[in-house]
């Protein structure tokens, strides 16, 4: 996928102005390039591994910057190659000049995720840990970062290994009879295989089911606020955010374009989207806003449909809300005279966007809609956060289900072993033990340049 014989360089810190910026090199010429361009302030300083030195970077006779530099000898580095880092002043012009300087001397600009890719190739981490590096950098909530740390620490890999060992044990039972075909498989062994297969299926099913929570944890949730004009949609947005983000007015059609902002709902990063009021109108600009609002229904994870509890409501919802889409009906203005309660086939929450009464109940109901019938996992529990992992586990579960059906039908051992071998192959690709170039390309292309 990449030429790993090259020495690569990239900024390891975000581009922009700051106190310090770090540039990282990895590859066989890292030490040579550092010695070529960096001069320690103390000439007697040797380039000892993991020893941070103060000095200057020069381009010929021209001073580039006063920096700190460190060399890390293989295999005791992130990539398990020779690595060098330059800690310079965090000015983007200085960073670009240092990049150009090393590139002109033979280094190559790293591709996205190439440092992590080299670590993976050199045995520094398995594929689930490599993906956790990206997940940690991109985590959008505290709980998302905690989950990425668990996976980076190897807990997901350990679970996959535990499940794989179950399958290997079953395969050994089957192949013991394949090696001695004159021996008939005993009923006790068939029973053992069925029990082990059922336990393995339950194990991997629980792990796959955790993706419902893990996906929301990693990607965040999109919450769409819909409803007729003057129901209190913008007031609800402001109440959930905790500050005045949207203009609130009694004039219908005040919100014409969508307004979005983020807040934290339980363990999730949530994106709130306020939209134009749904109504019949001849205003061409308002019509555009209404079309945009309806267009966002499909991409949302949860819809908050707001109605005015002091006005008549015919208990009908827009026809373009798909069946099964998580939805809460917010019966707003419970603080006002004439407020009426009502029942519907969807959950209804009485609420006051003006006073905030019912806010905690609303948030609890929002979480219930997103995770129906399920408690939030313990923060230290490992869950599936990547679609790639989820799809792999679905294949494993399908193979185990087919295995159990074959056992009940008395299928011969060599056909049983095919299901187990296929499941083990998929698990090996999940952890990267067996490398698929297409999978690796997709995984590491999602990384930032300096990782």
Residue 280 falls inside a structural domain: yes
Known binding residue 198? Answer is no
Region 47-64 average pLDDT: 92
C-alpha angle 121-127-128 in degrees, rounded to nearest 5: 155
Quick one: 158 and 280 in the same domain? no
Q: Give the pLDDT confidence score for residue 156 in this predicted structure.
A: 94
Residue, of 235 and 284, whose pLDDT is higher: 235
Segment 193-221 mean pLDDT: 91
Residue 272 above 60 pLDDT? Answer: yes
Determine, yes or no, domain membership for 3. no
Pick the closest to residue 389 from 170, 242, 207, 248 (CA basis): 207
Q: Is 30 labelled a binding residue?
A: no
228, 192: one domain: no
Question: What pLDDT, on the 0 to 100 scale, is given for residue 308?
Answer: 86
Residue 448 lies in a domain: no
Q: What's the CA gap between 450 and 25, in Å, rounded?
A: 10
- Does the annotation list 76 as a binding residue? no
In the predicted model, is pLDDT for residue 252 greater than 60? Answer: no
pLDDT, tens digit (0-9, with 9 covering 90-100), for 381-435:
899 999 999 999 999 999 999 999 988 887 776 778 889 999 999 999 898 886 5
Average pLDDT score over the chain: 84
pLDDT band at 54 (very low <50, low <70, confident <90, very high): very high
Using the 8-state DSSP alphabet, how is residue 386 labeled? -
229-to-48, 254, 261, 272, 427 alpha-carbon distances in Å: 69, 8, 20, 18, 52
In angstroms, the CA 128 to CA 388 distance is: 10
| Inside any domain, residue 394 | yes
* Residue 197 marked as a ligand binder: no
Q: Does 253 score more than 60 pLDDT?
A: no
Residue 450 has pLDDT above 60, yes or no: no
Q: Which two tokens stand for residue 123?
A: 């045995």
Q: Which regions of 27-127 does DSSP assign to beta strands (E)? A: 38-40, 53-59, 62-72, 83-90, 108-109
7 in a known ligand binding site: no
The answer on 186 and 140 residing in a single domain is yes
Assess whether 231 and 365 both reside in one domain.
yes
Stretch 347-361: mean pLDDT: 88
Q: How far apart are CA 366 and CA 349, in angstroms?
A: 10
Whether omega before 75 lies within 30 degrees of 0, making that bond cis, reads yes
pLDDT(73) > 90: yes
Determine, yes or no, domain membership for 170.
Answer: yes
| Pair (349, 365) in one structural domain | yes
More confident residue, 346 or 376: 346
Q: Where would I find the H helices in 105-186?
A: 114-121, 127-138, 142-152, 155-179
Do residues 330 and 251 both lie within one domain? yes
pLDDT score, position 135: 87
Nearest residue to 151 (alpha-carbon basis) of 175, 174, 125, 173: 125
Domain shared by 35 and 108, yes or no? yes
**Mean pLDDT in residue range 343-366:** 87
Structure confidence at residue 441 as a pLDDT band (50, 70, 90): low
Residue 167 falls within a domain, yes or no? yes
Copy the structure tokens of residue 60.
């010929």
pLDDT average, residue stretch 131-155? 90
Q: What is the mean pLDDT of residues 354-368?
A: 89
C-beta separation of 110 from 69 below 8 A: no
Per the annotation, does 428 bind a ligand?
A: no
Q: Are 329 and 309 in contact (CB under 8 A)?
A: no
Query: In angstroms, rounded to a whole number, what is the distance separating the alpha carbons of residues 150 and 228?
Result: 44
Write the burial class of residue 310 (CB in 10 Å: 0-12 exposed, 13-18 middle, 19+ buried).
middle
Per-residue pLDDT, 256: 47
Query: Is 275 one of the annotated binding-site residues?
Result: yes
Is 230 annotated for ligand binding? yes
Which CATH number goes with the domain that contains 113? 3.30.1360.120
253 is in an annotated binding site: yes
Tokens representing 160 are: 């996959």
- The kind and range of the H/E element at 21 are strand 18-26
**Is 50 marked within a binding site?**
no
- pTM above threshold 0.85: no
Handedness of CA 142, 144, 145, 151 (dihedral sign): positive
Among the three residues 108, 125, 142, which one is the final residue of a domain in this structure? 125
Asked if residue 436 has pLDDT above 60, the reply is: no
Question: What proportion of the chain, given as a percentage, has pLDDT over 90?
Answer: 37
Residue 255 annotated as binding site: yes
> 222 a known binding residue?
no
Q: Of 125, 149, 183, at which residue does a domain stop?
A: 125
CATH of the domain at 404: 1.20.120.430
The last residue of a domain, from among 346, 370, 394: 370
The whole-angstrom distance between residue 295's C-alpha and the CA centroid of its chain comes to 25
If asked whether residues 23 and 106 sit together in one domain, one would say yes
**pLDDT reading at 87 higher than 50:** yes
Q: Is 251 annotated as a binding residue?
A: yes
Range of the domain at 34: 8-125
282-310: pLDDT as tens digits: 565 555 666 666 667 778 899 898 888 88
pLDDT digits (tens, 9 = 90+) for 163-173: 999 998 888 88
- Residue 451 falls inside a structural domain: no
237 and 359 inside one domain: yes
Close Cβ partners of 294 (under 8 Å, ≥ 6 residues apart): 278, 318, 320
**Binding residue per annotation — 250?**
yes
Per the listing, tokens 């581009």 go with 15
Beta carbons within 10 angstroms of residue 247's beta carbon: 11
Q: Counting Cβ atoms within 10 Å, is residue 154 exposed (0-12), middle (13-18) or buried (19+)? A: middle
The answer to whether position 20 is within a domain reads yes
Q: State yes or no: 347 annotated in a binding site.
A: no
The total of structural domains in the chain comes to 3
Distance between CA 235 and CA 250 in Å, rounded? 11
């Amino acid at each position: 996928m990449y030429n790993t014989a090259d020495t690569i360089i990239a900024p390891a810190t975000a581009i922009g102005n700051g106190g310090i910026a770090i540039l990282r090199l990895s590859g066989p010429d890292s030490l040579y390039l550092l010695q070529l361009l960096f001069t320690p302030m103390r000439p007697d300083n040797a380039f000892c591994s993991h020893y941070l030195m103060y000095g200057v970077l020069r381009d010929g006779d021209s001073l580039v910057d006063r920096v700190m530099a460190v060399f890390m000898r293989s295999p005791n580095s992130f990539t398990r190659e020779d690595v060098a880092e330059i800690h310079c002043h965090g000015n983007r012009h200085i960073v670009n000049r240092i990049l150009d300087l090393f590139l002109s001397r033979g280094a190559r600009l790293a591709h996205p995720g190439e440092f992590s890719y080299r670590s993976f190739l050199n045995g520094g981490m398995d594929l689930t840990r490599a993906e956790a590096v990206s997940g940690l950098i991109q985590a959008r909530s505290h709980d998302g970062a905690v989950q990425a740390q668990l996976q980076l620490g190897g807990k997901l890999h350990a679970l996959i290994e535990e499940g794989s060992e179950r399958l290997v044990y079953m395969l050994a039972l089957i192949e013991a009879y394949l090696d001695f075909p004159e021996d008939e498989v005993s009923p006790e062994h068939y029973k053992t295989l069925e029990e082990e297969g059922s336990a393995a299926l339950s194990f991997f099913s629980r792990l796959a089911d955790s993706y419902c929570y893990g996906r929301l944890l990693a990607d965040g949730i999109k919450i769409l606020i819909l409803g007729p004009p003057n129901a209190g949609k913008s007031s609800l947005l402001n109440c959930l955010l905790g500050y005045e983000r949207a203009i609130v007015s009694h004039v219908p059609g005040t919100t014409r374009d969508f307004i979005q902002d983020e807040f934290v709902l339980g363990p999730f990063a949530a994106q709130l989207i306020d939209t134009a009021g749904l109504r019949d109108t001849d205003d061409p600009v308002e019509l555009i806003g209404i079309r945009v609002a309806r267009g966002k229904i499909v991409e949302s994870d949860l819809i908050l449909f707001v109605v005015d509890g002091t006005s008549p409501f015919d208990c009908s919802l827009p026809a373009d809300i798909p069946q099964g889409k998580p939805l809460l009906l917010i019966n707003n203005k419970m603080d006002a005279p004439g407020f009426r309660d009502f029942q519907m086939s969807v959950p209804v929450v009485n609420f006051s966007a003006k006073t905030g009464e019912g806010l905690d109940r609303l948030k609890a109901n929002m979480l219930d809609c997103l995770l129906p019938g399920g408690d939030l996992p313990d923060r230290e529990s490992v869950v599936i956060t990547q679609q790639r992992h989820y799809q792999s586990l679905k294949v494993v579960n399908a193979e185990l289900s087919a295995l159990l059906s074959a056992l009940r039908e008395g299928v011969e051992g060599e056909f049983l072993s095919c299901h187990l071998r296929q499941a083990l192959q998929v698990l090996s690709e999940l952890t990267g033990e067996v490398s698929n170039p297409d999978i690796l390309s997709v995984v590491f292309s999602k990384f930032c340049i300096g990782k």
